[in-house]
Amino acid sequence: MKIGFDHEKYLEEQSKYILERVNNYDKLYLEFGGKLLFDMHAKRVLPGFDENAKIKLLHKLREKAEIIICVYAGDIERNKIRGDFGITYDMDVLRLIDDLRGYDLQVNSVVITRYSGQPATNIFINKLERRGIKVYKHEAIKGYPTEVETIVSDEGYGRNPYIETTKPIVVVTAPGPGSGKLATCLNQLYHENKRGNAVGYSKFETFPVWNVPLKHPLNIAYEAATVDLKDVNMIDSFHFDAYNEVAVNYNRDIEMFPVIKRIIEKITGKESIYKSPTDMGVNRVGFGITDDEVVKEASIQEIIRRYFKTSVEYKKGYVDAEVFQRIKIIMESLNLKPEDRKVVIPAREYSSKLKLEANKNDACPVVALELEDGTVLTGRSSELMDASSAAILNAVKYLANISDEIHLISPVVLEPIKSLKTNALGSNNTSLNSEEILIALSICAATNPMAQVALEKLIKLKGCQAHSTTILSTGDEQIFRKLGIDVTCDAEYPSQNLFYNM
């Protein structure tokens, strides 16, 4: 993989800049946008970026930092899913706490935002408190965010409890957008100022990259990633007016800046040091880019992946036609086609060939997988295994220099698994999915040296690209994710079934 980003340079620059901001205050509330861990979007568009760069940055600052995690009660009630992990937001909070502790970072508490006694939220609160996690409940504030006089009063922020913090950097993070991070930061500023403490607020948001051109594919890829949020990149007019310098931000931050500035000035009783939303940020990711052409190409490929993702979500009914239309416009703005993704055409051509041979109109699922050396392999679904399983097996055989005719998995192992699946567990689908096939391969590796060699090649699939001509099952999607394979799908179900496709 070509590298276009210097991770070590970025960490050094970023930590230095945050500490400079901290020096202006007794305490800095730092709102962390995006993903604190496993930022796969950043890794994909900035080749060389460490997906855990943010938490490694905090690990460097661990003696000075503590963390507050926000989660919106409404997201708990509707079981909102974090797409890249396939888990609900409340479960992601638990995962996040475990991961933070693994990096020796102090988790101060969890804040339930816009709380109004929701039943599922109460169960979650009980779960946290009975495991020794401190929980704060913040109610929705009437008139937020525009009625500044009410917000900055005992009837606004004053109604919500103050979160006791002790370290100079207080990171406020969340499982996803709309979790109430900003409101929690401003709530703390209000209570800290009432106590006579000199505190500040800053925002750490990786994208859009403020010192990269507005129409750079890197920033357009951010629009594609947030197409359902209707985020639009814009020139920060406040920044240009103040400094005669072009900076990129996104519409929500620019629209909200005058209000946030007024709230901060009302809380502190003095003029804000920030003249623009870009001023509020501390992000230095743009300074880590070492090869702009590599970043451009990686960003273009990410935009195409986002197009496929949105197409599938539209097919499933998760997003509306407006969202789907927006991603198509983004593709058209860069003259991109789905076929510009290398693995798409081989998968579709093989699927069309199978349809022709079978003389039927039903879907013929095929997965194409591109290896690090540029070789593209395919796998088709059969009565024995699904297309994902076939593609993965073909890939590890190729990497291990094992002939395609050689069977790595013994029928003695396969038959009991198929019997368990259909007879004991009552599944209507006899084909084994990728997890089942990999378990079978690992069993055979105990007695078959070639199976062991193939199994050891699975690690070589990390960073590879794949495309399926049909929508993948949740199980296969998760296996691709765990193997580190970036997979996309055509928005077509593998069969006419309704329930068994979900």
CA distance 90 to 184: 18
> Is there a contact between 475 and 445 (Cβ–Cβ < 8 Å)?
no
The model's pTM: 0.90
What are the structural domain ranges in the chain?
Answer: 15-206, 342-489
Domain 15-206 belongs to what topology?
Answer: dip2346 fold like (3.10.630)
Cα–Cα dist 274/238, whole Å: 10
Taking the CB of residue 349, how many other CB atoms lie within 10 A of it? 14
The Cα 201–Cα 25 span in angstroms is 9
Task: Give the neighbor-by-neighbor strand order of the sheet with 65-72.
Answer: 135-137, 106-113, 65-72, 169-173, 27-32, 199-204
Per-residue tokens: 244? 């005669």
**pLDDT for the residue 501:** 56
Q: Do domains 15-206 and 342-489 have the same CATH topology?
A: no
As a whole number of angstroms, the distance between CA 125 and CA 133 comes to: 9
Q: What is the pLDDT along the chain (502 residues), one digit of tens a residue?
A: 789 999 999 999 998 999 888 888 889 999 998 788 888 999 999 999 999 998 998 998 899 999 999 999 999 999 888 766 778 999 999 999 999 999 999 999 999 999 999 999 999 999 999 999 999 999 999 888 889 999 999 999 999 999 999 999 999 999 988 899 999 999 999 999 999 998 999 999 899 999 999 999 999 999 999 998 888 999 999 999 999 999 999 998 999 999 999 999 999 999 999 999 999 999 999 999 999 999 999 999 999 999 999 999 999 998 999 999 999 999 999 999 999 999 999 999 999 999 988 877 778 999 999 999 999 999 999 988 999 999 999 999 999 999 988 889 888 888 888 888 888 887 777 788 999 999 999 999 999 999 999 999 999 999 999 999 999 998 899 999 999 999 999 999 988 776 655 4
Respond yes or no on whether the N-terminal peptide bond of residue 208 is cis (omega within 30° of 0). yes
Angle at 92 (CA atoms; ends 89, 97), nearest 5 degrees: 135
pLDDT of residue 429: 76
- Contacting residues for 309 by C-beta, under 8 A, at least 6 apart: 488
DSSP symbols for 329-340: HHHHHTT--GGG
Q: Are 433 and 386 in contact (CB under 8 A)?
A: yes
CA distance 237 to 261: 15
| pLDDT for position 497 | 74
Query: For 342-489, which CATH class?
Result: alpha beta
